[in-house]
Structures are given as C-alpha cells and as structure tokens.
Structure 1
C-alpha cells in the first residue's frame, strides 16, 4: 500500500485491515489511534511481519477502539505446513518407524520450519533425524547450531551436499522440504531419483516459497512435489480472521484458566492466565506447541480426531497413558531447551535453569503424574474444541494375482463399507493399499467417497515407477488423485507388504478366496461369480 494511502487508512468495524511489513508500524498505529478516537465499535488491524522478531509497538490506551495483532509470517507458515503434511505422513510411528526430515536450502522460512519440526517430532524414544543438504555442509551445520540452540539434544543431525546426500534405507526420509524457490524444480527432480535409489521411497517433496506459486494442472504433477506459499497457503481468511489455526490452542488456554479458577486463584492475576487477547506471545506459543502436538500423540496410538458427534466417549488405556506421558515430557523438554533453558538442580527463571530437564525415568512420581495428567486431559481438550477421538480400524486391500481382475460391483462395495461402519461405529475406518492394480484403485476411490473413511498408501516401490506403469492418462490421473488424498504414505520396501499387513491390519479384503490361516484372521472376499461378498467373521 503506498504511503499516501496509509496516511488516509481508516479501518472499518466490519472489515479488518491486514498489512504486510508496513513502514514504521509504531507511527502508523499512533496515527490510526488518533484518527479513530471516539469510534464506538472496535477496529482490527493485523500486522504481518517477515522478521521473526515482532515490531516494537507502544501500548494503546484501554479505551482505544483499535485492536492491533501481529503475525509472524514464517512461524505461521511452518505451523500451517506441518498441519497439512505432518512428520508422521511418511512413517508408521505406531509400528516403530521414525520420522526423518530432509531440508534443502536455507531461505525463509527454513529456520522456522526446523524449529517447528524440533518442537513437534516426538513420537517415542528415538530422536528425529534431520538431514540438511547444502553445497557447504559445514556451513549448514553451523547455521543449524546457531539458529536452533540445543537442537542436537533433540534431533540427530546429518549434513551433506545435494549431489551426494548420503541417504540410507534404515530410516527412510518421511518428508522433504525445499527452501530454494529459484531451483526447486531441479532439486525435486534430483531428490525423486536419489530417494528411489536409496530406499525405494516416495515421500512428499514440498517446495516452499513466500510468494504464491503459479497454478498447475494435476496431470502435470509428479505425485510427490507440491507447492506451498507462506502468503497464499498460510495467510488464509480462516487463519487471519477466524483464528482457526489457534482454535485448539485457545481451548487449551481457556481450560488452564478454568483450572486455575477451580483452585481458588484468579487467573487474571497471573502472567500465564491472562485472557488470550492480552496473553504474552511466549505463553501463546506454549499453548500452540501443545495443540500442534495433539495429532502426533494420536498417531502414536493409532487414533484419529473426528467430529465430536461421531464419538460416544473415549479414554486412553493405562499403557497408552504411560507411553504418551513419556512423549509429552520429551515435547515439553524440547520446548524449554529451544527457549534456552538448561538443567540445574534448582529452578532459576532468570538464568533459565530447570531441575526437570532430565529423562522421564529420572523424574519423581509427582512430576511424572503431571505428564500423565496432561495426556489424560487430551480427550477433554479436544471435546471442548468440538472434536472426539476414535481408534483406527485398518482394513488392508490385498492386490489380486492378475492386474486384469475386475473390481467388484459398486453395490457390493457400498454394502461392505456400510456393514463395516455399522459393525464398528466407534472406530475410524482406514483402507491400506499399495494402489497397484485397477481393482484396489477402484475400491479405494469408492471407499473414500465416505467422509469417515481414510486411505493409507503402502509403498513397495517408488511412485515414479508406479506412474510409469500407467499406460493411459485416465489411469495416471486416478492414481494421482488417490495419492493426493492419502493420509499416510508408508515406505515398506520390497517384500515388506505381507509382514506389515499381518502385523498391522485387523481385517483383510481379498479379491479371491484366501488361503486358510492367512493373517489377519478377519477376512472378506468376492465369491466366485462376483455376485456376493463372503465374510469369515461376524460383522
């Protein structure tokens, strides 16, 4: 906005004003406050800043109608990106696979993305692996240590050049981020080939930029590379005006205020108990970090957040509470360490010393109970946000022996899905498949028309190899549509599919009668003649 327009700016009560890095924001706010003096209805001004440090603004008079909010573009973008592509997108954390984040480039918002990953990638005892690809690996390592204090206590760091990334198959890359917009296409093409050779995997490759990317067609998509823009994809009306990104964080904070009041204390009298509108950014950040990790916790125990009306009630088991309490302590410790805190026998807020920055096993039982209490409260917090929890029901779609095997009639598929949803009303149905045949692609496409059915893609080979097998554009487009809608993309490697299904699936959907004793023991299949489905368990 030109300076002369800023000089005449007068926000309306019904239309919030959003400005990206305006010159001299303090002077602008002072002028607006004077211009709006006497207005009866509040006026909202949102200042988006590229610099990680929020601009220094003077405090407005309590009676001023002007309401000023600041938004860190990089941090908001990082939260939005990992909400859309979580680190467990490309690994089965409930089965013991571990996340591996690969980052190419150091332009904005690379620093914020790394910090968000370090805050959120807590799924078990093993640390997140981070691989930085840079022409100067030593400089990349130094940059990481300078921007992420104590980051190597949270994650295992590896640095290499883009030409020789030193990838291996023991911990496949689960998500790759490219923060080098001018060379994103070249990086993505090279990474697709390197990942396919190293581990046969096809993780999502997210090309990140500040400005919007040019629009493209699905038919031109390679199945892996996807664009993400801080401005177009993170600064949406839902985020800016409705506060959707902070809905759960606000719920967590209101729950805390209620807890303080229930103890006979006034939350308004505590720095961390102020209403959200007056809450310091450091406390807002802590609530956001806790909210952002909710879905990671659910993934660890094969659960999913769903609309509350689908759920009658939910409680974690004792074993799940203990497992998640360990993870919650690691998450809390990472939050503290990234803020500069270190361990000391006596707490000292001024020096950022904390006695609880130790392993979970070294905590006293009362301290462990704090983490257990936080885990037990997850269903309540989600319920206050209009969400419930369901355990997953994993149904494996078994590939036919012949690619010529036709899919069953749509009416039989609809009937089977209806029976599964009716038999397991408290479970979230997930179809797990490699999408390697017309039959499994047709079944998956019809199944996910139901809003309560999810899709997991099981990779035995690279996606580029699967796309190469698509002999016509319609088949390719169908496969790409299904890949885009998959909630998880799990690398299994050659020969790993049968073992994964036997261990993880509760029901197997076979194209033909299965062998006796094949696992899982709950099975259904198409009877000879193709006119009915056979179930060998009570549905």
Structure 2
C-alpha cells in the first residue's frame, strides 16, 4: 500500500480523495452556517459557495465561520498548490526524465524489457546502481518505471545508435541487452560498439553483456570475454545454461544408489540440463553409466541433435527416449510413459517445460504413478510466487500439497547481477565451487562452504576466485589458455604426466601461499579454530597420499572446465 501511494497514480488517488473531503466539509459548513444564521439558502447557492471556496474565490458570507469552513479555507490553498505541482510534474515529466538521463554517467543501461530485462533492471537497482531502461514498446517502459521509481525509462529502438546515444551509453558503466531475440541482441551490441567512447583515464571501457537464448551459441561466443579491446568489452550470457547449473546445485540428482534420472521437456533449459547432468555424472563415476529417460514431443530428434553437438553424453547414459506430446498426449503415449514409470521408477525427475500449468499437470501425474517417496521431483516455474506456491504448502501451513515436489524458480535464480556481470572469472569460480559440492558425499548440503554458490558470502567466494586465477596462471606456464568449449566429448588437449605433475605442484604452492597469507601455520594435526594444517609444507615434503590427491585433482581439471563450458587449447607447442 505504501509503495502504491508513492507512485504517481497513488498520489493522484490521494489528492482526489482529499478534494472530496474538502467539498463535503464545504457543503456541510455552509448548510450549518445557514441554519445558525436563520437565512434560508438553496442547494444551488450552497454548491456555488462551496465551488468558490474550492477555487479560492470565496470572500466570506453572512454568519459565523464554523469549524468546517475554517478547515476548508486553510486546507484549500494547500490542495490547490499540490494539484498544480502534480499537474506540472505530469506535463513536464518527459522533459525532466530526458534531462536526468542526458546527465547520467556511470550508470547501467538495460535494453529490452520483457520479464528478463525488467527483473535484471530491478536487480541492478537493488545493488545500488543507477538504471536507465530502454525499449521500443512504450507500455513496457511505462510499466517498468511505474512499478519501480528508481528506474528511468526511454522509449526507443536500442538497435539505433541514436537511441543509445540518448541514454548516454558512451558514459555508462555497463549495457545489459536482455531482449528475447538473439539476432536483435547482437545488433544492439553492434550499435553500442559504434557509440561507446574509447576508454580514458578514470573511465574504463563499457561492459556490454548480451543475452543469447541459445546456450551453445553463447558458449561459442564467449571467446570475446577473453579479449577486450576498444571502447567496449563484450560478453554473452545464457540464462538456460546458468539455470541448469543452479538447478543441479540446489537439487542434487545423484545419490550413487541405482540412480535413474528423468528430464521432462527438451527445450533450451532441458537440453542444457541433460549436458550438465552428463558432465556431473562423468565426474562422479568415470567408469559407470547412468539411466536417463527423456520425455518430449520430439525427444528422439532432440536427443540425436544433442549427441551430435556433445558426443560424450551418449557415453555416460543408458538412454530411453519417449516421444509424447505433453500438451496433447495420445493414449498410446500416456500408456508408454505409465508403463515405464511402473517398470523402473526414476529416482530424480526434472520437469522443465516452459508452460507452467503443463508443468503442474505433469507433477500431479507423477504423484499418481510413482510410489510415495520414490523420486525427488523438481518443477521449473517462472518464480517462487504465482503458480509455484501451489506446490509449497496447504492452507499456508507447513504441510506440503505434494510431498517430494520442489519448485525451481527460473527467473529468480537467473535474473541476478552475477548472471550477467561476472564474466569468465566469476563463472569459473562458481563452477569450481559446484565441482567441490558435487564431490561431497552428502550431495553438497550443510554449513560452512558446503552451501550453494548463491548462499556464500563474498569472502567465501574469493576462495574459488583465487583458485581460478591459479588455474589461468598454471595453464599459461604450460603454454595453454582457455577457450569456449566447442563439443563435449571431442578429444581435448592431452597433457603429459610431467605437465599434470607441474599443475599439481603449482596448485599446491598457490594453496600454501593462500593459507599462510590468511594466518594458517603448520602443525602435526589439523585444527580449523587454531588455523593449523599438517599439509602446509613444501611439495617435496608432502605425504604420498596428499601428493596423489593433488595429482588426481590436476588430472580432473579439464573435465571440470568442460562442465563450466571451457576447454584447454595450446598456444605454444608442447616440447617433446
């Protein structure tokens, strides 16, 4: 209610209500005055005097001024002034808004105001940034700026360099391109490059992050993250790819005991999820295969396409494909799916179709066919609010409407500052942490660092960031660098035993320096409270078991990078 009253519409409602009160007081006051003075007065005369009071043209009349008239004649001038002020703000709002935008500097520009763009704009405003939004649809701009007074909006085509100049992209800190069309987002980024000013002393290059709904295309385009030049640093992000990693981090799929995962819906999120599942399983069980069931109207064709893009997914899964149109299922399709659920129930199910009512219907269907407690079911919803609340509780209590069914709020988890502003370093740091969680026996839940990335503080995240810095330096020492992953499963760079040993030794040295700088010292037993560790010794003095663990971790570096969407390439030929 308070937020509504702060809006322009809310202020008009308050002002109109106060005018009604003043008019009622005026009519009542004049009627009382007529009775007390004994002078008869018609209804029209009473209304006329009230209008004089309201227009500041009342010069008094016979009879005493009762309390109603006293209140009215002092409040009316304030009301009139407020009305003029609000009216002027409406008339000149556009000009004032353009003036504010024209004077902006160091701000964030968000181009595209569908659900994703609007949420990202609010996320940056929550982070304390000054945000200017731009979209060719006036209704979207008005809705965004009315819903959040911190946002300044401009109606215009962001693919036009003139529009970007009016929102002062040349003086902005960052540009976030969040439209729903990949080709259009690339055109916006291209237009921004022509407007962005060359970086000067004290003013860094414009950071431009453009959304690509195609996860594979986003991975290929990330090479631009590795090399920034000119007046703009361009990067691409995929919300579907990030959502897949976040979903697996929040809802671990593998327990190690007869795992059978099912993915319902093979859209962009579903395909990203299958690749992420395969990479996580390959990390946990290198010589075993997992059971995977895929359900979609075009499951067979999309699985074939996925294996061509990422051949390794076929090597880690025993896959069963069920072609059934979930929106308009046939009797045969439903019977096939029901038979599969009865014959071998899954242990983990992700329902990641875009249609929320359809996702709920599938959750209900699974509840009817799966034995109680047999499977953990995760349902993709746009946000935790809305239809997602139907799965959470009954009547606002603690009892869940569908036990075992959890909501994954897609937009809540992906429309964050970190999703678009982290760059390669932040993405790899998150992947390092997720790799750590995946290797925990309890699936990555608990206290300390055993929590999802989103729940960690900045100091805790710095541990993974420093690990990434170490990886980049270690690879450079081998004459290698990172590049976007092209195809998971295609043979990557083969590191020799000597190179793996060099990586392991360098990582131990980095860890040693990191720990000692934080105040840790050597002792024969580990004590986290006293900050002592028996492994704080030179590489040559490490116990054999600890050295082998470091070598294993170095050998697993490339699979971990692949899970984050990167691979190692050589810039200098390895010596023989």
TM, length-normalised to structure 1: 0.45
TM, length-normalised to structure 2: 0.42
Q: Which has the higher strand share?
A: 1
Q: Which has the higher helix share?
A: 2
Larger Rg: 2
Which structure has more relative contact order (CA 8 Å, sep 6+)? It is 1
